[in-house]
């Protein structure tokens, strides 16, 4: 189709962010809507030069758009690479053939590898609306996929994205199944493992709804927004990196499905396995350690669920030639002292430096995982990984490796310190029996995290601490007095740290 095949419209940027769903805005009374029979929420093909996307139509009935004008949601704007005043052509989209596979799956049929690939091609090309995505995710949820389908899905997720290749082996990696607040082991692990000569090219994500992602934390210590060529140079020089995954598109379908699964609060095992392993296979990993926190409020609730998930993960990993090992860990409470990019970075540095007061739980978890990676990757004989990891951490080799990685990524930084801090005093004397993690995270966000990297919360009294009335339970850090006040208003109205009698 050439642009001449459809009526054209002049773009005006309204700047509406609809996350992933591509939206087209057009006047309802436009000749095009009438003649093409477009109604609100019609699917419309939008073309600009030789690029095209399928968008959902929102019809405008006021003068925010003039006759002959149209707009696009921010993601569609970026996908097409358009600018204000550019001319787009609109028309009916071709039918999405792969939806027949989604219907077949809903009707109880199995999907073969070719069908999965056809679906994933259309998903990644943005041809599925939210309704289509939800139907596919639903069809593949529960126990509706057999082992072969999980394999096909994983493979299709890998093949519809970028793939990294490394000229060394093993390439080790680590993933935490179902995050735990403050469980910021990655920078420490990479440092230990790379110091022992293994290759660990780690891509991490930024926060979506939490006060900090690993990429946000690492960014207070070094640049993380590296292109693939720079990332390769870092790996060649230092053996390890901790960069933001945004520059490479590993398993882009995963991010799309995760949003839908989150909205439905569905996380079936098959989808979890495909999600985790597609990213790792695409990243070129050969050896993978999976941190699996188990606890009543964690993603994996108990040993039985852990057994099933472990079997499925290892079976699928093996099919891709990926050697995997699961390390089960305590998932009952958060890890470390700080919440927020800078404060979590300080915990990481404290562990690497062996500083007094460094969070013991973060250190212990890092050593356990590092031991598993070292043994799996052949850097330590079985049973000797723990001793090697501890030695490398304690004699400063891990710290020096970490500093070298930061330099290679563009120069080590000192995490910023917030200009405003205020302690939250205990309202009574007693013992801390519980801390509400969800609410603590909210205080950190009210204080400005992750946009203000120095903002967040520093916890002083973990569960089990004995506290006196007036003693600081936590300190809120902020870039501006206004945000500090805002966070405090919330702290005042809510029971975040629960204190009971006893000693």
Query: Using CB under 8 A as the criterion, which residues of the chain lie in contact with its own copies when the complex forms?
Result: 13-21, 25, 28, 31, 34-35, 37, 39-41, 43, 58-62, 64, 73-74, 99, 102-103, 106-108, 129-135, 137-139, 141-144, 208-209, 259-260, 263-266, 442, 445-446, 448, 451, 486, 490
267 is catalytic: yes
Least gap, CB of 14 to its own copies (angstroms)? 6
Task: Choose among 245, 271, 266: nearest CA to 156.
Answer: 271
SS3 of residue 461 by DSSP: coil
Phi-psi region of 340 (alpha: psi -120 to 50; beta: other; left: phi over 0): left
Phi-psi region of 435 (alpha: psi -120 to 50; beta: other; left: phi over 0): beta
Q: 182, 338 in Cβ contact below 8 A?
A: yes
Least gap, CB of 16 to its own copies (angstroms)? 5
Of 139 and 198, which CB lies nearer to its own copies in the complex structure? Answer: 139
Least gap, CB of 190 to its own copies (angstroms)? 28
What are the DSSP calls for 277-340, one per residue? HHHHHHTT-SEEEEEEEE-TTSSB-SHHHHHHHHHHHHHHHHHTT-EEEEEEEE-SS--SSEES
Of 239 and 270, which CB lies nearer to its own copies in the complex structure? Answer: 270
Least gap, CB of 346 to its own copies (angstroms)? 23
Q: 71, 25 in Cβ contact below 8 A?
A: yes
Least gap, CB of 209 to its own copies (angstroms)? 6
Burial of 309 (0-12, 13-18, 19+ CB in 10 A): buried
Of 103 and 495, which CB lies nearer to its own copies in the complex structure? Answer: 103
Least gap, CB of 21 to its own copies (angstroms)? 7
Of 142 and 381, which CB lies nearer to its own copies in the complex structure? Answer: 142
Of 118 and 406, which CB lies nearer to its own copies in the complex structure? Answer: 118
Annotated active-site residue in 130, 267, 330, 436: 267
Burial of 86 (0-12, 13-18, 19+ CB in 10 A): middle
CA angle (203 as vertex; 199, 207 as ends), nearest 5 = 150
Whole-number Å distance between alpha carbons of 60 and 72 = 12
Of 51 and 103, which CB lies nearer to its own copies in the complex structure? Answer: 103
Least gap, CB of 333 to its own copies (angstroms)? 22
Phi-psi region of 171 (alpha: psi -120 to 50; beta: other; left: phi over 0): beta
Whole-number Å distance between alpha carbons of 405 and 407 = 5
Whole-number Å distance between alpha carbons of 315 and 322 = 10
φ, ψ for residue 201, nearest 5 deg: -90, 95
The sign of the dihedral angle between the CA atoms of 104, 110, 112, 116 is: positive
Of 37 and 357, which CB lies nearer to its own copies in the complex structure? Answer: 37
The residues annotated as belonging to the active site are: 267
């Amino acid at each position: 189709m050439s642009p001449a095949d459809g009526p054209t419209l002049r773009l005006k940027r309204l700047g509406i962010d609809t996350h992933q769903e591509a939206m087209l805005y057009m006047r309802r009374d436009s000749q095009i809507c009438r003649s093409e029979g477009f109604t609100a929420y019609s699917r419309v093909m939008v073309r600009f030069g030789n690029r095209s996307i399928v968008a959902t139509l929102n019809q405008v009935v006021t003068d925010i758009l003039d006759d002959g004008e149209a707009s696009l949601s921010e993601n569609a704007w970026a996908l097409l690479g358009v600018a204000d005043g550019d001319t787009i052509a609109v028309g009916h989209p071709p039918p999405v053939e792969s939806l027949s596979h989604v219907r077949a799956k809903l009707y109880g049929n199995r999907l073969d590898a070719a069908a999965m690939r056809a679906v994933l091609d259309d998903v990644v090309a943005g041809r599925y609306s939210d309704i289509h995505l939800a139907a596919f995710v639903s069809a593949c949820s529960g126990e509706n996929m057999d082992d072969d389908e999980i394999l096909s899905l994983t493979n299709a997720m890998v093949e519809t994205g970028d793939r990294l290749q490394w000229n060394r082996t093993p390439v080790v990696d680590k993933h935490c199944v179902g995050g735990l607040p403050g469980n910021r082991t990655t920078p420490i692990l990479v440092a230990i493992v790379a110091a022992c000569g293994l290759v660990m090219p780690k891509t991490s994500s930024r926060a979506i709804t939490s006060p900090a992602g690993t990429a946000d934390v690492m960014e207070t210590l070094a640049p993380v927004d590296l292109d693939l060529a720079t990332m390769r140079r870092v790996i060649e020089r230092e053996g390890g990196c901790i960069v933001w995954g945004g520059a490479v598109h590993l398993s882009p379908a995963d991010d799309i499905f995760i949003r839908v699964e989150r909205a439905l609060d569905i996380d079936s095992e098959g989808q979890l396995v495909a999600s985790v392993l597609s990213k790792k296979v695409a990243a070129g990993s050969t050896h993978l350690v999976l941190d699996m926190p188990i606890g009543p409020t964690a993603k994996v609730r108990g040993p039985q669920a852990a057994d099933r998930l472990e079997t499925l993960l290892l079976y699928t990993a093996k099919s891709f030639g990926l050697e995997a090992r699961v390390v089960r860990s305590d998932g009952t409470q958060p890890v470390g002292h700080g919440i927020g990019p800078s404060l979590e970075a300080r915990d990481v540095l404290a562990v690497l430096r062996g500083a007094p007061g460094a969070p013991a739980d973060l250190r212990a978890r890092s050593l356990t995982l590092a031991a598993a990676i070292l043994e799996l990757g052949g850097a330590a004989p079985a049973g000797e990984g723990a001793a090697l990891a501890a030695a490398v951490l304690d004699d400063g080799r891990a710290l020096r490796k970490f500093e070298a990685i930061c330099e290679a990524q563009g120069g080590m930084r000192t995490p910023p310190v917030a200009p405003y801090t205020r302690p939250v005093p205990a309202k009574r004397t007693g013992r801390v029996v519980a801390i509400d993690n969800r609410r603590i995270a909210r205080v950190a966000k009210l204080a400005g995290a992750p946009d203000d990297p120095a903002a967040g919360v520093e916890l002083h009294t973990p569960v089990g601490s004995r506290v006196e009335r007036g003693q600081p339970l936590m300190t809120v850090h902020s870039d501006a007095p206004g945000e500090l006040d805002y966070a405090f208003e919330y702290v005042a109205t809510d029971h975040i740290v629960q204190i009971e009698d006893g000693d």
